[in-house]
Amino acid sequence: MNLLTGRKQLSLVKESDLQLMATTQYKTFLTENKILNSATSRDAATVDRVGARIANAITKYYDSQGKESMLEGYVWEFNTVDSKEINAWCLPGGKVVVYTGLLPVTQNEASLAIVLGHEIAHSVAKHGNERMSQAMVQQMGGMALEVALAQKPKETQDLFMMSYGIGSDLGAMLPWSRQQETEADQYGLIFSAMAGYDPREALPFWQRMSAAGGANPPEFLSTHPSDATRIRKLKQFMPEALKYYTPRN
Kindly list the residues in this chain that would bind Zn ion in the complex (CB under 5 A).
176, 181, 184, 224
Closest approach, Cβ 40 to Zn ion, in A, equals: 31
Alpha carbon dihedral 16, 50, 59, 195, in 10-degree steps, equals -150
Q: Which is nearer to Zn ion, 115 or 149 (CB)?
A: 115
Q: Is 130 a catalytic residue?
A: no
Q: Which is nearer to Zn ion, 26 or 89 (CB)?
A: 89
Q: Is 224 helix (H, G, I), strand (E, B) or coil?
A: coil
Closest approach, Cβ 222 to Zn ion, in A, equals: 11
Q: Which residues pair with 90 in a beta bridge?
A: 96
Residue of 119, 130, 181, 183 with catalytic role: 119
Closest approach, Cβ 153 to Zn ion, in A, equals: 27
| CA–CA distance, 88 with 121 (Å, rounded to integer) | 12
Q: Which is nearer to Zn ion, 57 or 121 (CB)?
A: 121
**How does DSSP classify residue 81?**
E
Closest approach, Cβ 184 to Zn ion, in A, equals: 4
Q: Is 88 helix (H, G, I), strand (E, B) or coil?
A: strand
93, 75 Cβ separation under 8 angstroms: yes
16, 144 Cβ separation under 8 angstroms: no
Q: What are phi and psi of 245, to 5 degrees?
A: -95, 120
Q: Which is nearer to Zn ion, 71 or 125 (CB)?
A: 125
- Residues with a known catalytic role: 119
